[in-house]
Structure 1
């Protein structure tokens, strides 16, 4: 091979090497394709049971029912208060739902006497009127005004040696609430549903005799005026998938002073000795969190499992309340 051929052969080898190295380099400079557009979840594809505590601002279509029973255990120091609370609602006319909320309970007391059996608590009647309806192209939330009247059907006084039989308040109580509900679409297209409810409850005076849920003794005969109760609840629900939802309630409650006035006809030794009784409970406050998880078999039926924890309040008892609920609409 002469010098010219050797030079040409070397040049071809160099050209082949340069091309071989240039292709990978040029491949690295190919622009990355833009990310695929996020598909937003539609409201009809998101299934919910509702969070553990916050009421819905929606109303049922005329002729439709909602049935939602809760089972729970309010755990406080030395006491387990087992109970059931069932929402039975009916769409009466457009924008208006009515319903009834029966309550049953049983108290188990450490180092004390348990309830003699499952008893009836106070029953509530409810009406809710929807004011506005949320639309995806608007920032106006769904809002509703709710009116509840609670009737003193639960035992509350003359409890004798079984104060754990007390399951009611003995007072007619009127509760006025404003409920609201809003939807937000997250960056991944999933829906976050938010509720904000505020309510105030006003109770009438109660005639009380003997041992009662207000802490009066066997010889007491008098009157109790429960304080007003304010409650606020902010809830968030994240549509993890169509069937699975993560939920959280954050609550604040304030109870006004309860005034007790009357006579105690017996001294601690059960000897007749009338004494005037004047007691003020003072106000109390409590904060709470209620995380929960929801599973929906369909848009009409689902189950919720959660726990409410109250803490950090003033003049109140910390509690832990596990609960399970079924939500069915038809």
Structure 2
């Protein structure tokens, strides 16, 4: 009898183990238990991109991207209407080039508005992709972007219409690192994240007369815009294949802009005399958000509607900028 105890104990243990497995099998087929969530495929999610953050992707060779923005920068006593159009081309594998023309019109409550719609500064762009995200990987898509802004917009000799000023008058170089990552939420939908950082520096601009730098009609001299830094963290949530919710969180810093020269003034007796001028804008920083909604008719064409809100910051005026953009790739 005593020798049979190990056998009985072994048999009892097997029965208990088998019994323990029965509820699990039942639970797997129980209709009251929801099935595992299937992750949304990347091809099922269509995007236009958030309102502000640049993509780290590059276009396939021979393909174009056309994305015009229409916007209104609203600040106290002023509306700056504008258009900014991204025209990009896939030149080679991992390399896209393009240009960004800008047009604008300033409406001023107290003073003269722009005489007409004007051409702003033109930006040339090249972007080279370093890495490419793959599902299951922790490595994001990354790219280096180089931009050169040409002083094609009016900025000085503005006479009685300072609002005609739409440019900066200086060549500006911008170097940026763009990144893009995908995350799958608990419900299986995709959350796309972009994080971009950039720095810019400008050469000296010759300035004559009334200008965007606050000089008057008698001024002759130069302006040197300060260096700038910006960061943008953006999220896009794929609600459905066609509908996307987007949000940008932005920070920017601009160092001091210096203006130096002379001003020809008239003395009380009517004789002209020269006065040295040295102006400094001081450093500034700003924080902002840009919520937006995207709708995509196809993987190649979509529309975005959003609003950028700059809360202000040190030496910065708050603005509200509603915008609409069309994204088309072919």
DSSP 3-state at the match of 2:43: helix
Deviations 1:28-59 (A, max 9, x none): xxx77321110110001100000000000000
2:267–2:273 contact (8 Å) kept in structure 1:
no
> What is the alpha-carbon distance in structure 2 between the residues aligned to residue 90 and residue 207 of structure 1?
33
DSSP 3-state at the match of 1:44: helix
2:234–2:248 contact (8 Å) kept in structure 1:
yes
> What is the alpha-carbon distance in structure 1 between the residues aligned to residue 66 and residue 265 of structure 2?
48
- Map of 1:216 onto structure 2: 215
1:318 and 2:291 aligned: no
Question: If you compute each CA radius of gyration, which structure gives the higher value, 1 or 2?
Answer: 1
> What is the alpha-carbon distance in structure 2 between the residues aligned to residue 308 and residue 107 of structure 1?
18
How many Å apart are 1:145 and its aligned residue? 0.1
1:38 and 2:52 aligned: no
The unaligned stretches of length 5 or more in structure 1 are 1-30
2:284–2:315 contact (8 Å) kept in structure 1:
yes
> What is the alpha-carbon distance in structure 2 between the residues aligned to residue 267 and residue 109 of structure 1?
29
> What is the alpha-carbon distance in structure 1 between the residues aligned to residue 230 and residue 273 of structure 2?
41
> What is the alpha-carbon distance in structure 1 between the residues aligned to residue 97 and residue 324 of structure 2?
23
Residue pairs, 1:132-281, within 5 angstroms: 132-267=131-266, 272-281=272-281
How many Å apart are 1:268 and its aligned residue? 9.2
1:104–1:120 contact (8 Å) kept in structure 2:
yes
What TM-score results when the alignment is normalised by the length of structure 2?
0.89
How many Å apart are 1:271 and its aligned residue? 6.2
- Map of 1:99 onto structure 2: 98
Deviations 1:104-126 (A, max 9, x none): 00000002101000000000000
Matched residue pairs, number?
Answer: 301
How many Å apart are 1:152 and its aligned residue? 0.2
1:110 and 2:109 aligned: yes
DSSP 3-state at the match of 1:314: coil
Runs of at least 4 residues off by over 6 Å: 268-271
1:79–1:110 contact (8 Å) kept in structure 2:
yes
- Map of 1:26 onto structure 2: none
- Map of 2:127 onto structure 1: 128
DSSP 3-state at the match of 1:263: strand
- Map of 2:70 onto structure 1: 71
DSSP 3-state at the match of 1:171: coil
> What is the alpha-carbon distance in structure 1 between the residues aligned to residue 227 and residue 113 of structure 2?
29
- Map of 1:14 onto structure 2: none
Distance of aligned partners of 1:189 and 1:235 in 2 relative to their CA distance in 1, 3 Å threshold: same
The unaligned stretches of length 5 or more in structure 2 are 1-29
How many Å apart are 1:312 and its aligned residue? 3.6
- Map of 1:295 onto structure 2: 295
> What is the alpha-carbon distance in structure 2 between the residues aligned to residue 243 and residue 105 of structure 1?
31
